[in-house]
Amino acid sequence: MRRWLAIFVTAAIIAGVVVIAIVASRPAQNASASSATGASPTGATASPSIAPGGAASATTTSAAARAAAAAPPAVKLHKLPQTFKRPVYLTAAPGDTTRLFVVEKGGTIRIVKDGAKLSAPFLDIRAKVSTGTEQGLLSMAFAPDYATSGFFYVDYTNTSGTTRVVRYKVSGNPDVADAGSAHVVLSVHQPYANHNGGQLQFGPDGRLYVGLGDGGSEGDPNHYGQNRSTLLAKILRLNVNVSPVRVQKYAMGLRNPWRFSFDSKTGALWIGDVGQDRWEEIDYLRPGAPAGANFGWSAYEGTHVYNSAIAARVHKSSLTWPVAQYSHSVGDVVTGGYVYRGSAIPGLRGWYLFADFATARLWAKHGPGGGMRRLPGADGKVAQISSFGQDADGELYLVSLAGSISKIVP
């Protein structure tokens, strides 16, 4: 059985006009989840990609095309001196340039403040969290008005395996959360222990977006991928500023959107959706795209038919196709990342970075129609990339499930 976050079991208890399909010579890995890695400049084949709403993507301008054809700059990695226990995410509070918040799978959030790791956790909910296979404390997101409200949100699987999105508030000590302030805003039953999704991100609209996989096992046995009535296999959009919280199904047809992000400049949404047995994919929604995109799982895995019976009932013209895909001869588990918008590496601005957990390959892609390029200086350097992280300055980090965190530097 191929499971993408077999990451958590085996390694540490552990692809808008063109879709790039990369085939390399290495044998397929036996991890599971669709990775959305990039393509090398050679050995690629192309297939059509459809923009949100089913219309063909607009042709890029010649300037944009030239930029997309350029190679990303070489970078270096600065490894933080601290180690962490199965870290799965890194983020910062809006405007906070002195602290990094590191999410550990087991149920704690740690702070690195002015370069030093604080001894006491920001939040410790280990007693509430299940940690089998792909379960655990999976991400966090600060409210846009965190400086005044003190609210932040976490996504975890509880001891019964149910996904919970919970709001907490910081205590009087800015380095410690108020553990007693927990308020559950979403609870979703998970039939299996894998494909929990887990990403939380606030969008440009101020809504909280939540990623949920298809419920797990293998091959979408409950057919949730194309089931509009369930919350599973979706990206949800939550209005957390009203009571009760309003939940909207923003996008569907996702197998396991482990990591997704919004471009902090344009507002475009990039999704790394972990694949099944053959293909990993990167999905994209233009800035301000309306709700309703369908990425095709489990009728399709990437652009390839996965379940012919379901595919026969789905109108291909209604689907939003990946902007990148690669086969399991290249990697097994995609880890979606971010569009770089920092200031330290000007030549990297506008490039979307993503990686493969199983192979340590790391790519840069300039826009939804741009080609994929290996990122020199970082590609192949960090094993078990469970996530990317972004600080308040827009600089990016690589989070390794094995315990290390590395900053991408010039």
Find out if CATH 2.20.25.10 is the number for domain 4-409: no
> What gap in Å lies between CA 391 and CA 95, rounded to an integer?
9
Domain ranges of the chain: 4-409
Q: What band does 63 get if pLDDT is binned at 50, 70 and 90? A: low
**Predicted model pTM:** 0.86
Mean pLDDT of 299-325: 98
> What gap in Å lies between CA 213 and CA 197, rounded to an integer?
5
What is the percent of the chain where pLDDT is above 90? 82
Residues 252-290: tens digit of each pLDDT = 999 999 999 999 999 999 999 999 999 999 999 999 999
What is the percent of the chain where pLDDT is above 70? 83
Helix then strand then coil, % of the chain, to nearest 5: 10, 40, 55
**Which helix (DSSP H) or strand (DSSP E) does residue 408 occupy?**
strand 405-409
Three-state DSSP at 7 gives helix
364-366-372-375 Cα dihedral, nearest 10 degrees: -20
Whole-number pLDDT of residue 387? 98
- What are the C-alpha distances in Å from 392 to residues 83, 193, 197, 396? 21, 33, 24, 10
Mean pLDDT of 17-28: 34
> What gap in Å lies between CA 13 and CA 386, rounded to an integer?
13
Query: What's the token pair of residue 371?
Result: 């080609």
Residue 74 identity: A
pLDDT at 56 over 70: no
- What are the C-alpha distances in Å from 63 to residues 67, 283, 342, 368? 6, 23, 21, 15
Whole-number pLDDT of residue 62? 59
DSSP designation for 4: G
Q: What band does 69 get if pLDDT is binned at 50, 70 and 90? A: low
CA atoms within 13 A on the CB side of 73: 13
pLDDT at 54 over 60: no
User: Of 305, 235, 236, whose CA–CA distance to 273 is shortest?
Assistant: 235
Query: Higher model confidence: residue 46 or residue 244?
Result: 244
Mean pLDDT of 327-333: 96
Residues 186-236: tens digit of each pLDDT = 999 999 999 999 999 999 999 999 999 999 999 999 999 999 999 999 999
Q: What band does 316 get if pLDDT is binned at 50, 70 and 90? A: very high
> How close are the terminal C-alpha atoms of the chain, in Å?
40
- What are the C-alpha distances in Å from 12 to residues 7, 87, 182, 224? 7, 10, 29, 29
Whole-number pLDDT of residue 98? 98
> What gap in Å lies between CA 398 and CA 410, rounded to an integer?
15
DSSP designation for 81: S
> What gap in Å lies between CA 193 and CA 258, rounded to an integer?
14
Q: What band does 70 get if pLDDT is binned at 50, 70 and 90? A: confident
Mean pLDDT of 75-81: 98
Averaged confidence pLDDT in the chain:
88
Residue 20 — φ and ψ, nearest 5°? -95, 125
Q: How many residues in total does the chain contain?
A: 410
Q: Cα angle vertex 286, ends 47, 242, to 5°?
A: 140
Is residue 391 a contact partner of residue 113, using CB atoms and an 8 Å limit?
Answer: no
Whole-number pLDDT of residue 67? 53
